[in-house]
A = this chain, B = another copy of it.
Amino acid sequence: MIITEDQFSNYEKRKRANFINCFSGLKPANLVGSIDGNDRTNLAIISSVFHLGADPALVGMILRPDSVRRDTLENIRANGYYTINHVNASIYKQAHQTSARYDTAVSEFEATKLTPQYLNSFKAPFVQESHMKFGVELVEELKISQNSTHLLIGNIKLVSLEEDSLREDGTVDMGQLDPVCISGLDTYYSVNKLSRLSYAKVNKELSEVE
């Protein structure tokens, strides 16, 4: 079936949000850890983290407009550092619960019983229960004029992951880490490997490397 912009623009607000949020496809589930000037920790599930480049090692994420207070955004602006922690199937419900509107004084770590972890004196809390996580330094904030969202660009400073999952060629065997992805606003999926494919070349048949 075909649905035009004129049609979905007339959907009721919540229905429209449900619909449009499904269109970018399966989204990575990440928890973003941050800290304020009073050492209060904050944790937020974010589905808009994306790879920006390998050299320098950059990662982007979108945060919503700051027309109301956004603890994660304020903390990152003030402190300059944050952590990105992959959500796995053992903690996805706790991760989802961080999206509730807790007061600034309440740490989502405590409220959801996830454990703050400090690694190598990095100035933001990691999630101990995450199997793959990295510490990031904010290098640029861009405001998207179309809808006043914020693009935060970060430089990866520190990585922590399960040793067995890292292969000699630098790839990480995500299948070992029980990762989850999200569709829309609230539906969580685990994954099954189809295959790892060879580097694509013109006039050469692909092969399954794994």
Contact of A169 among B18, B97, B194 (CB under 8 A): B18
Interface size class of A (residues with CB under 8 A): 35 or more
Interface of A is mostly: mixed
**A153 contacts across to B, CB distance below 8 A:** 144, 146
Judging by beta carbons under 8 Å apart, are A86 and B120 in contact? no
Known: A26-B174, A51-B27, A101-B202. A188 touches B197 (CB 8 A): yes
Stretch at the interface among A5-13, A34-42, A68-76: A5-13
Which residue of chain B has its CB nearest to the CB of A59?
B24
CA distance A106 to B70 in the complex (A): 48
**A29 contacts across to B, CB distance below 8 A:** 25-26
**A161 contacts across to B, CB distance below 8 A:** 1, 3
Known: A54-B17, A195-B188. A120 touches B26 (CB 8 A): no
What 9 A-B pairs come out closest when comparing CB atoms?
A25-B28, A15-B170, A18-B170, A189-B191, A19-B170, A100-B200, A20-B54, A22-B172, A53-B147
Cross-chain pairs A/B with CB under 8 angstroms, 17 sampled: A17-B170, A20-B156, A23-B134, A24-B30, A25-B49, A26-B174, A27-B50, A53-B147, A60-B62, A60-B144, A93-B197, A101-B202, A140-B145, A172-B183, A187-B210, A189-B192, A190-B194
